[in-house]
Amino acid sequence: MSSLELLAPAGDLEKLKIAVLYGADAVYLGGRQFSLRAGAANFDDKNMLEGITFAHRHNVKVYVAVNIYAHNPDLETLPAYLQFIARAGADGVIASDPGVIDMILKLQPDLPIHLSTQANTTNWASAAFWKRLGVQRIVLARELSLEEIKEIGSRVDIELEAFVHGAMCMAYSGRCLLSNFMTGRDANRGDCAQSCRWRYHLVEEKRPGQYFPVEEDARGTYFMSSKDLCLLEYLPQLAQAGVTSFKIEGRMKSIHYLATVVKTYRQAIDSYLKNPAGYQALPQWMEEIRKVSHREYTTGFLLGDQGKTATVEPAQSTYTRLAAFVGLVLGYNEETGRIIVEQRNNFKAGESLEVLVPRGDNRTLTVAAIYDGETGEQMEVAPHPQQIVELPVDEPVPPMSMLRRIG
């Protein structure tokens, strides 16, 4: 149990640093190619080297996703990329394509391989097969129940990783052709258009041009749009079933989402490790993760109902949230007694904001005044996006803390 890992997404260098500072034990990221999140900023070679150095300085591991289903041209540049990942000091590589895995085993045999959830490992025999081949960790398919996970863990001595939080895909282990068909963007090569989140109508064959809404409410029905996963309550059961890495989805999510969710799961895992028998998912944890943009939360397939009661939310395609992220704390000006803030959304003098800090209890800050970070001029509101401002405080606020408006 002491080796339980909190694994967080890192869509770019800023997000990597946020994940590390807010409590992740490991992060996963992708380069500019071979990764299944083409829409994320991702990492060029320079940023990947900087990110790995930063993470290792904080005793955090870095896993690099090379999890596309490759076409022939992809294989031409893959060997050089694998060599770079190994030299950069990555702690492992996430892959799903058998040809890619074979190439890793031959060209970089010292690079640990984690089998991506895209490989949809749903039984112990498959896990045993991949172990014999040389894979060190299985990222379990999201379609598994707790009992199925437990059987895999009892039969195969291999590291198990499971998603515990984040967006879910309506397709089997993310293996989807809908985006390809609708837009020509290949979901299995990292360029999903999320066609399942769109609103659809029915057209009867003999009445072309007449569109019949399939409605749950006035907005229409999003009958392929999944709810979001949240397994805070079931961390003990997952650990006892053999899962050692708890994974958060979200390489394309905001830094506010990342900080909030990582910090909450850090608190939950630490609470479980301190007192496994007495673990409870505290109400304040659930309240906290509802502050970020999310769809209705679900336990997915974990409880064995095949997701029938919990996976799809017909009437919801958009996100809801209970807080708005308005500023990132960059530092503290000792001469003026003010925190230095990069504005991320509008806020004004006189407002009461919550301060999300990387460690410890959150605080409340009343914005007594706002000063231009360059001129020192006092303002009622910062007029420019991402403007640097200073706010007077009674005590310093840790760098990378976040200011947010509740409600």
- Considering the domain architecture, whether residues 47 and 151 belong to the same structural domain is answered as yes
Place of tokens 């080297």: 49
- On whether residue 219 sits in a domain, the answer given is no
Pair (252, 133) in one structural domain: yes
Q: Do 53 and 97 belong to one domain?
A: yes
Residue 312 within a domain = no
Cα–Cα dist 368/399, whole Å: 20
Residue 221 is assigned to a structural domain of this protein: no
Residue 235 resides in a domain:
yes
Within a 10 A sphere around the Cβ of 304, how many other Cβ atoms? 12
CB atoms closer than 10 angstroms to residue 80: 9
Q: What are phi and psi of 115, to 5 degrees?
A: -80, 120
In terms of domains, do 383 and 357 share one?
A: yes
* Same domain? 182 vs 162: no
Query: What is d(CA 143, CA 152) in angstroms, rounded to the nearest whole number?
Result: 14
Q: What domain range is 105 assigned to? A: 5-174+226-298
> 25 is written with which tokens?
């034990």
> Which residue, chain included where needed, has tokens 């059987």?
151
Question: Considering the entire predicted model, what is its pTM?
Answer: 0.87
**Is position 334 within any domain?**
yes
Residues with Cβ within 8 Å of residue 322, at least 6 apart in sequence: 287, 290, 291, 406, 407
Residues 66, 192, single domain; the answer is no
- Structural domain tally of the chain? 3
What pLDDT does 220 receive?
Answer: 47
Predicted pLDDT at 218: 47
Give the CATH number for residue 330: 2.40.30.10
The letter for the amino acid at 82 is: L
> Which CATH number do you get for residue 234?
3.20.20.70
Same domain flag for 383 and 242:
no
Distance (Å) of CA 268 to CA 67, 221, 292: 29, 35, 17
Residues 64, 21 share a domain: yes
207: which 2 tokens? 């009445």
Rounded to 5 degrees, what angle do the CA atoms 141, 238, 125 make? Answer: 45
Same domain, 91 and 230: yes
99 with 192, same domain? no
DSSP string, 77-111: HHHHHHHHHHHHT-SEEEE--HHHHHHHHHH-TTS
pLDDT tens string, the chain, 407 residues long: the values are 558 999 999 999 999 999 999 999 999 999 988 876 555 567 999 999 999 999 999 999 999 999 988 899 999 999 999 999 999 999 999 999 999 999 999 999 999 999 999 899 999 999 999 999 999 999 999 889 999 999 999 999 999 999 999 987 666 555 566 666 567 676 655 567 666 666 666 677 777 777 665 555 544 455 556 788 999 999 999 999 999 999 999 988 999 999 999 999 999 999 999 999 999 999 999 999 999 988 888 898 899 875 555 555 544 556 688 999 999 999 999 999 999 999 999 999 999 999 999 999 999 999 999 999 999 999 999 888 899 999 999 999 999 999 999 98
Strand partners, 404: 325, 354
Q: β-pairing, 26-30 with 61-65? A: parallel
CA distances from 398 to 238, 328, 330, 402 (A): 33, 10, 8, 9
Q: Are residues 251 and 141 in the same domain?
A: yes
Position 161 in a domain:
yes
Both 18 and 105 in one domain: the answer is yes
- pLDDT number for residue 385: 84
Is residue 117 within 8 Å of 173, Cβ to Cβ?
A: yes
> In sequence order, what are the residues at sequence separation of 6 or more whose Cβ sits closer than 8 angstroms to the Cβ of residue 387?
342, 343, 372, 373
Q: How far apart are CA 307 and CA 301, in angstroms?
A: 5
Distance CA 300, CA 143 (A): 8
Q: Is residue 304 part of a domain?
A: no
In a domain, 308, yes or no: no
